[in-house]
């Protein structure tokens, strides 16, 4: 290659890099501008229904009766979708679900549990640096703002297709005997590992004047299976249903506030909720095979107002997708000032099987 040609190629490459950077920047700006309630990460819903991933700036939208926003690449795509929104949405959900576990499992092959631990340690170090050596964490169970000191990573669980789960030891900054075990859910995204969720697994409890550590209920779903994926079965297991539920919670969470917005169909109020956990057992409806999982949410800004939300999960193409969320129980204030849960409906006419 001549000197002239070498410089020519450099110029071409630099121009291509600049264009690529500009395109990526524009896409990043579009993504940042997405409304927090946008479904499928801002992808074109009709594109997904047709088996294609098409990112949008969410300029063209449709809002369903539950307040969920669906994005489209054009008015034409939206018009096609609305010709049969129920069927098209089902197809979009199936397409997204079909690739989730397999794509995660494939991406995980590029990483190890040690890589996940490094990501978590870096994540914690950044928090400590920004907060004078304290790891701040809002307890979703009661809204308490914990101030924790980092001790060490205990060990890391790996579940193929679902992620890595480093278990990290902390203690209360004001009392070293109050110990916590906190789980970090780490998955590969866009070629690198990202912290997906943080959950308290064990918390301190004072017994006869001394602090001990006990597992919190409900426990995170990833403690249910063995430390490694036990293999694929024809019948879905309870923890897989719980995983689909909690993945849905993470996707619906407001990136700034950390809360999940749910519209109450009775009052019309948009609820701001903090996720507490998913309960066992998971059940399967005998009538149509749908799975059902019960979850606890706390009303943001309160300590004792809890909602019970029912997540209905269906199997599409061998994969699990949350199809519906219902407000089952709501907090009601008693005369003595305490809050109790009141049921909106019951399941007396339905028959379920417990999913192990």
Domain shared by 215 and 280, yes or no: no
Are 200 and 244 in a shared domain? no
- 3-class DSSP state of 69: strand
Q: How high is the pLDDT of residue 105?
A: 87
State whether 351 and 257 are in the same domain: yes
Q: Please compute the mean of the pLDDT values over residues 328-344 and round it to a whole number.
A: 96
User: Is residue 6 over pLDDT 50?
Assistant: no
In DSSP terms, which residues pair with 295 in a beta bridge?
278, 309
Task: Examine the domain organization and report whether 349 and 289 are in the same domain.
Answer: yes
Question: Do residues 247 and 349 share a domain?
Answer: yes
Residue 288 within a domain: yes
| 149: in domain | yes
Cβ atoms of 104 and 161 within 8 Å: the answer is yes
> Which domain-ending residue is among 65, 87, 108?
108
- Tell me which of 195, 223, 251 is where a domain ends: 223
As for how many domains the chain has, the answer is: 3
Residue count (the chain): 356
Same-domain status, 117 and 211: yes
- List the domain range (segments joined by +) for residue 140: 113-223
Distance CA 10, CA 159 (A): 45
Residues 268 and 209 in one domain: no
Choose the weakest-confidence range: 18-27, 54-63, 284-293: 18-27
4 domain-assigned: no
CATH classification at residue 202? 3.10.450
pLDDT digits (tens, 9 = 90+) for 135-189: 999 999 999 999 999 999 999 999 988 999 999 999 999 999 999 999 999 999 8
- Verify that 57 and 152 share a domain, yes or no: no
Can you name the residues that pair with 275 across neighbouring β-strands?
A: 297
* pLDDT at res. 4: 35
Strand bridging mode 260-263 / 210-215: unpaired
Q: Which residues of 327-356 are buried (b: 16+ CB within 10 A; e: fewer)?
A: bbbbbeeeeeeebeeeeeeeeeeeebeebe
Residue 177 sits at φ, ψ, to 5 deg, of: -80, -15
CB atoms within 10 A of CB 320: 22
Closest-CA residue to 324 (of 47, 86, 103, 82): 86
């Amino acid at each position: 290659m001549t000197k002239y040609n070498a410089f020519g190629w450099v110029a071409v490459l630099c121009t291509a890099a600049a264009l690529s950077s500009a395109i990526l920047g524009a896409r990043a700006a579009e993504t940042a501008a997405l409304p927090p309630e946008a479904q499928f990460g801002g992808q074109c819903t009709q594109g997904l229904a047709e088996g294609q991933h098409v990112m949008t700036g969410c300029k063209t939208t449709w809002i369903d009766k539950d307040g969920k926003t669906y994005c489209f690449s054009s008015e034409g795509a939206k018009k096609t979708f609305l010709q049969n929104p129920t069927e098209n949405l089902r197809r979009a959900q199936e397409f997204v679900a079909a690739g989730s576990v397999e794509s995660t499992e494939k991406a995980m092959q590029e990483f190890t549990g040690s890589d996940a631990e490094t990501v978590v340690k870096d994540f914690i170090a950044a928090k400590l640096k920004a907060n004078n050596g304290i790891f701040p964490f809002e307890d979703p169970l009661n809204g308490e703002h914990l101030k924790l000191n980092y001790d060490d990573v205990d060990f890391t669980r790996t579940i193929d297709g679902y992620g890595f789960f480093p278990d990290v030891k902390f203690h209360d900054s004001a009392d070293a005997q109050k110990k916590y075990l906190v789980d970090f859910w780490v998955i590969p995204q866009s070629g690198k590992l990202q912290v997906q969720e943080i959950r308290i697994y064990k918390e301190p409890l004072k017994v006869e004047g001394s602090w001990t550590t006990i597992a919190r209920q409900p426990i995170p779903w990833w403690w249910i299976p063995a430390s490694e994926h036990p293999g694929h079965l024809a019948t879905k297991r309870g923890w897989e249903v719980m995983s689909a539920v909690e993945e849905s919670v993470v996707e619906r969470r407001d990136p700034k506030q950390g809360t999940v917005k749910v519209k109450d169909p009775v009052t019309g109020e948009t609820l701001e909720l903090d996720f507490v956990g998913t309960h066992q057992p998971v059940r399967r409806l005998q009538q149509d095979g749908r799975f059902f999982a019960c979850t606890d949410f706390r009303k943001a800004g309160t300590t004792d107002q809890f909602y019970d939300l029912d997540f209905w999960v269906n199997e599409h193409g061998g994969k699990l997708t949350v199809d519906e969320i219902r407000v089952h129980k709501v907090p009601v204030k008693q005369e003595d000032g305490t809050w109790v849960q009141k049921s909106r409906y019951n399941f007396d006419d339905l028959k379920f099987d417990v999913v192990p």
